[in-house]
Structure 1
Amino acid sequence: ILPVSSVPAPVPNLNSELRKLNCSPDSFRCTLTNIPQTQALLNKAKLPLGLLLHPFRDLTQLPVITSSTIVRCRSCRTYINPFVSFIDQRRWKCNLCYRVNDVPEEFMYNPLTRSYGEPHKRPEVQNSTVEFIASSDYMLRPPQPAVYLFVLDVSHNAVEAGYLTIVCQSLLENLDKLPGDSRTRIGFITFDSTVQFYNLQEGLSQPQMLIVSDIDGKLESLNYLLIKDLLNALPNMFTNTRETHSALGPALQAAFKLMSPTGGRISVFQTQLPSLGAGLLHSREDPNQRSSTKHLGPATDFYKKLALDCSGQQIAVDLFLLSSQYSDLASLACMSKYSAGCIYYYPSFHRTHNPAQAEKLQKDLKRYLTRKIGFEAVMRIRCTKGLSIHTFHGNFFVRSTDLLSLANVNPDAGFAVQMSIEESLTDTSLVCFQTALLYTSSKGERRIRVHTLCLPVVSSLSDVYAGADVQAVVCLLANMAVDRSISSSLADARDALVNAVVDSLAAYMSTASNLQQSMLIAPTSLKLFPLYILALLKQKAFRTGTSTRLDDRVYAMCQMKSQPLVHLMKMIHPNLYRIDKLTDETTIHVNDRVVPQPPLQKLSAEKLTREGAFLMDCGSVFYLWIGKNCDNNFIKDVLGYPNYASVPQKMTQLPEVDAPSSERTRSFISWLRDSRPLSPVLQVIKDENPAKTDFFQHLIEDRTEAAFSYYEFLLNIQQQICK
């Protein structure tokens, strides 16, 4: 049942005109593309209703509206969009609350066609994703400048790991590419058992280090020469340190004080468990208690409180955890979760001993430092009368029932919401959802990005199933399962995931007549549902057993809650390709490049052969597994070594060899890399490689000591339905 290539999003059953105008599923999609008429019908289907959003993603085409009048419904404040109806040239009817509004005089003129009297042809009504340049009405204060503060662990542990060299080098290379304008400010704090602050004021011949217990200063505007001097000096300043302690809490308090007047972004680099001052933590890593509920949540509320204070001052905290041992990510993650920050995690990080992680940090930083950023943002989701939103998932602070506060917003962040049907939708054939993201650009403009999605309403259970979006359903369930693991237990979350499959398929089978009860039948739209749920149960976030380290599990849970659907699905169900037999027969052409398109393989060891080479795409990492008897020509041309035995254990790069198989393989891998924001690291794996375990754990159709094979899982589902 596995498709030959990736699973497309279902296309809503709308007329061709509405379909053409609808929002891209890459930005905004619903778990059900046919919305049930009533909550009773939704309950019968046993499927969750919710939305998955990727609101600030990078777009190649984005209509920007510079009009001084932003047309909105006077009652519910919906932005005018392609799914409103014009009663006549002077009045339009809101598609969310049905109020009739007047068309403002200015809206009668179309700037694109330079014609008058055709409001329905304006770009706001022809595009379901638009961005408005906002007026001063949308500002509580003058737009903030881009302000960046780097908080760097310089303890003995950090110096040993060698991350400072990579961070400073990346900053030197990308300093002039940091988003901003002439008002941009940047600052540095380092910490071990004390907190060090750096004076980068104009007029100094070199950066001044101040060891302070309390900071009353302000970040200076960019003084490039001093900053470059500091970045060149930092990696060597602490080489001989004996300081083993980590005063992360006091460093963050100092950073908060420094950033409060402006807001901005704090980037924290931490390599160990905080051991001094406010926010100090103790090891909770008990191999027998690695999935216990109390360890999946924070040990202290210090980091959450700090994050909420930061959010109130429009400061987001991003965490880079580069640890070689347990660092209590469950507690530390709160600083990013509640301040709308993001989390990067590099277990067993070491610049020389772990080249794959070092390369990953370098590539992640390049993207992180140069990608688009929005400051002091809020996001509101509106929906047609009768529908209501009740739970949000992602990194943010909920300011009111439908308003999310995002101190920073970045193009790689995903969000999800759960919904219910409060009033019957019998009087309408269509419903709409609209998300509006108001933010300050790095150039100091207030902007509003608006996405609008339109879906049909149906009254039959079979139509509800026919429109189910299996990937969106699985991603929403993953978010719900993370919450369940922390509020109840991992066992409860796992049971809920299995029950989601059992209940929905049982409900479908009870409606389909002439079915043999002994057969397991799924609607076409949900054929992959059991496979994806089994994959989720085997994911680090939810798998059983004590071999999964606590920080690894917590990080997987953090990703479940903050990744957009497209990246989350690769994490849940990786793609496997055989690549030692790539040909030019099935290819696509991308920017003058010929890219082979090998078929997807089932995630099972029975698909592997010792004579072959297989590439597994897990989203943030590529595993290239080389069979023991793989053809020496392939090994020579693609890996650059004469035979299997000579391929080194820690290989992360493919050489450029002038051979067709090398060009095809590199072309295919770089095409996969280009499709995502963070550049995955490549790990070449041989049978005797320790990373082989990671590769085989992703073969989710196979049996493991603690989990079913796919066939056994289907039998188990069938037995539960027939009980």
Structure 2
Amino acid sequence: MTTAALESFAPWDPRTYQQGSGASQQLQQHSQMPSEVKVREEDTNRSGLFETGFPYANLPPLVSTFTFAQDSGNCNSKFMRSTLYKVPKTDAIMKETQLPFAVVITPFAELNIYEVCQQEIKEPPVLDFGPQEPIRCHRCRAYLCPFMEIGERSFRCGFCDTFNQFETADFTDFKNRPDLRLGVFDLVATNEYCKHGRAPKEPAFLIMIDVSNNSFSIGMLPLLCHNLEKILRNLPREADQIESSIRVGLATFDKAVHFYDISSASPKMLVVCKQQYLLTIPKYTFSADFQEPFVPMVDGLLLPYSEALPGLRAALAEIPKIFSQSRTTETILQPVVQAGLDALKCADRAGKLIVFSTVLPTYDAPGKLKAKNDRSLLGTDKEKRALVPQEDSYTKLGEQCVKSGVTVDLFLFPNGFIDVATIGQLSAVTGGSIFKFQNFSAQKDGIRMLYELQRHVSKKIAFDCIARVRTSTGIRPITFTGSFHMENSTDLEFATIDENKAFLTEIEHDDTLKDSAALIQTAVLYTSMTGQRRLRILNMCLPVTSDYHQVYRLADPEALTAFMLKQAVQLYRDKGSAEMKKSLSSRCAQILATYREKCSEGAPPSQLILPESLKLMPLYVNSILKNDAISGGSEMTVDDKVWQMELIRGMRTEDVMPFIYPRVMPISDLQMNEKEELKELPKLVRASADFLDKTKAYLIDNGVVLFVWVGAACPRTWVQDVFGVGATNQIDTESGLIPEKDNAHSRALRRVIQLLPRGIRQRKKIVVFEKSKLEPRMKTCLVEDGSGAAKSYVDYLVEIHRKIRNLVS
């Protein structure tokens, strides 16, 4: 038996498993199975400095391990993370193992304060070589990078082996060029890379707010108007900027679209509506044409924040007064986006439309949608019908937006069906985001919404992007997953990409790899926040091998999980639930069966053997299969399900992992006195009810929702200190708020919540006490447990082991 095989024995034998065993037996079985919590604890030994490696990229630590990467020639894994860090030499190995070769790409990922790229500069350097075009291979068009072989006056391309001559002007001080030393850098693009051969203008954000009766009744409109001025102070800027270069504009809508001239402290309003008329009232002018929305103003519509502030402040103060008596309950949406797009096009600016909408657009206008109730179809063979758009006009409008570099972000506040499947295409195609606040209450959800908006408008962001992934000879990208538009097989068009947005590409073999390395380069042409056209270049070099042991040893379990989750959603959309579940489980079994066959010869047939790097794979796959976005039935709404599927589309690996396996941590034993400081999160426990002690309280976090679960026997002193009541069944579970009390228990709980890693969304807090009506919802986060048709971790591992034995035999 090989050493690798001995190191990979899972300390659990399925022969010991008995269904229907008692609690102590279940705990024993749990302790014998690979533990996600233990794996993460052990990986903290890799915390601190992480050198990305050269010439080959190093396998990165887990995303939960705090590291600061030093760019050694391969890019930081925050930018590109591969499922494999040793690439099989032949396609035959790929097919036999069924391991996917894929890369999760987050081109503008946020770096932590300790990251080092070049001479301790936090951001990737921006290289400006003047009028000289970026140096590229004349055959494959790859950009100069550390994996090019430099000669006296030429270089050999590492991607296609072509020799390229340098122009005379190029050949200067090559040893000190950052693009030959770093895995990620930006190049200032010449005019040849700009639309129409001219430099772009600064981008703009156009805020478009629903002012129908619905927006008043839920409190969204007055809350937003009162706080928007402060929120826009946080517009993103580059490191050397005092003020953001991004322009801001304001519009409102109901059955019409109202644009605001905010160039003075006495703003003017112009309206696009169905009736053809011109009406003037003090301070405001209304003009009209609805079927072909036009931009009523350019000057005064989009201004830098400091110039816009007096007019913006005045307009936001007046808007609630102007529309306070509105009885309009039907609204439009497609003409709103069309008008906003036209506004940015006329201003010749890329940017964002940030749209706040409260109801399904049912008014008789382009994009009118019908209310439908397909909730009963969820979890059935017919559920695919409920998850597709009603019509394609929103998708086509999104494609128009992409061509002009305009993203659509949707902030939705529905009390009923709003058809995320249809209107969500505006965001899915343009690279935008959807934020959904079901049954919004300003008192309960207002603070969360404002923090969400502030965080969203302050993200570092790139505009009007075109991305292409190039690979060395013998491999090529074949599929892409994310929020973008494609008109050909190579170029991905994003109206914007922010620091939290990722896309994924799967790579396949064209031929046997003849070189010892496989190269991947992602190039993103984009407009910066200052309006400068640039190229971001990301580079990765991976070693090639024919050794199965090495392929498995250097597989990345988290990038692989991200791939499996995104593939599951796509299979679910294309082929339905049953086919998707069968495909994922079969692939999981094949990956592990090939390891069993190739890397652990001579082991007892009954022994379950898992590769050390992928020993949690059955747990993660089972968690994917149980995720609400895939397996949720009629207990959830169609809009909720589609929203989660759209959320997954652009998820980074950092967000995938807690979404699939939530963090569970005890918090009732913690205290923080007034002058003390809590610096670390409590130790995690496994996501199973077997590990919840009813005498304690726990936080359960998946990055979207944060549950506070209080056991029935939790000490009364803790319940009193935190919630101000004498018993668990008196806790207010409706408000979603955690009171701010001046005591050690309350301070500790609120501090732990502050210490949680940033989630993909501003977390919705839900307080649950044991056996309350909300507990079943919380238990969906306990992914090691079974419920209904969903298998427990134990049961699924038994099933996978059975499949492995069948495949091997």
Q: Same fold (TM over 0.5)?
A: yes
What is the distance in 2 between the residues matched to 1:150 and 1:667? 34
Structure 1 position 206, deviation (Å):
5.3
Listed as ranges, the matches of 1:39-438 within 5 Å are 39-59=91-111, 60=113, 61-62=122-123, 63-68=125-130, 69=132, 70-86=134-150, 88-103=151-166, 109=172, 117=173, 119-140=174-195, 141-179=198-236, 184-200=246-262, 202=264, 204=266, 207=269, 208=284, 210=286, 212=288, 213=290, 214-219=293-298, 220-222=301-303, 223-261=308-346, 262=348, 263-276=350-363, 277-291=365-379, 292-352=383-443, 355=444, 357-425=445-513, 427-438=514-525
Q: Which runs of 5+ in 2 are unaligned?
A: 1-33, 59-71, 114-121, 238-242, 270-283
Q: Give a deviation string over 1:213-239, Cα, whole Å, max 9, x none.
A: 243423424232222111122234333
Residue of 772, 781, 785 corresponding to 1:698: 781
Change (3 A) 1:605 1:160: same
Moved more, 472-481 or 236-245: 236-245
TM-score, normalising length: structure 2: 0.81
Paired position in structure 1 for 2:81: 29
Contact 2:257-2:336 at 8 Å conserved across structures: yes
Contact 1:540-1:552 at 8 Å conserved across structures: no
Q: Sequence identity, in percent?
A: 27
What is the distance in 2 between the residues matched to 1:205 and 1:515? 79
Q: Give a deviation string over 1:668-703, Cα, whole Å, max 9, x none.
A: 322214x45744343332236544332111111112
Structure 1 position 107, deviation (Å):
5.7
Paired position in structure 2 for 1:718: 801
Paired position in structure 2 for 1:112: none
Amino acid at match of 1:83: F
Paired position in structure 1 for 2:706: 622
Change (3 A) 1:221 1:245: closer
Residue of 689, 698, 706 corresponding to 1:605: 689
Change (3 A) 1:184 1:702: closer
Q: Give a deviation string over 1:97-154, Cα, whole Å, max 9, x none.
A: 1222345556665xxxxxxx5x234222221111222232321232132222222222
Amino acid at match of 2:297: K
Structure 1 position 79, deviation (Å):
2.0
SS for the counterpart of 1:280 is: coil
Paired position in structure 1 for 2:611: 523
The reply on whether 1:447 has 2:447 as its aligned counterpart is no
Structure 1 position 400, deviation (Å):
2.7
Contact 1:145-1:444 at 8 Å conserved across structures: yes
Amino acid at match of 2:222: T
Amino acid at match of 1:509: R
Change (3 A) 1:22 1:318: same
SS for the counterpart of 1:22 is: coil
SS for the counterpart of 1:260 is: helix
What is the distance in 2 between the residues matched to 1:411 and 1:475? 17
Aligned CA RMSD, in angstroms, stands at: 2.8
Structure 1 position 315, deviation (Å):
1.4
What is the distance in 1 between the residues matched to 2:96 and 2:285? 65
Amino acid at match of 2:802: Q
Contact 1:373-1:409 at 8 Å conserved across structures: yes
Paired position in structure 2 for 1:588: none
Change (3 A) 1:406 1:565: same
SS for the counterpart of 2:75 is: coil
Structure 1 position 579, deviation (Å):
2.0
Structure 1 position 619, deviation (Å):
0.8
Structure 1 position 658, deviation (Å):
5.1
Structure 1 position 593, deviation (Å):
5.8
Change (3 A) 1:663 1:105: farther
Q: Give a deviation string over 1:584-620, Cα, whole Å, max 9, x none.
A: 9xxxxxxx96513432211111111111111112112
Contact 1:316-1:340 at 8 Å conserved across structures: yes
Contact 1:183-1:221 at 8 Å conserved across structures: no
What is the distance in 1 between the residues matched to 2:377 and 2:57? 53
Paired position in structure 1 for 2:623: 535
What is the distance in 1 between the residues matched to 2:129 and 2:509? 36
Change (3 A) 1:520 1:244: same
Structure 1 position 77, deviation (Å):
2.1
SS for the counterpart of 1:518 is: coil
Structure 1 position 455, deviation (Å):
0.9
Contact 2:55-2:541 at 8 Å conserved across structures: no
Structure 1 position 85, deviation (Å):
2.6
Paired position in structure 2 for 1:558: 646
What is the distance in 2 between the residues matched to 1:107 and 1:290? 61
Q: Give a deviation string over 1:347-392, Cα, whole Å, max 9, x none.
A: 222223xx1x333211110111222222222111111111111111
Paired position in structure 2 for 1:472: 559
Change (3 A) 1:658 1:310: same
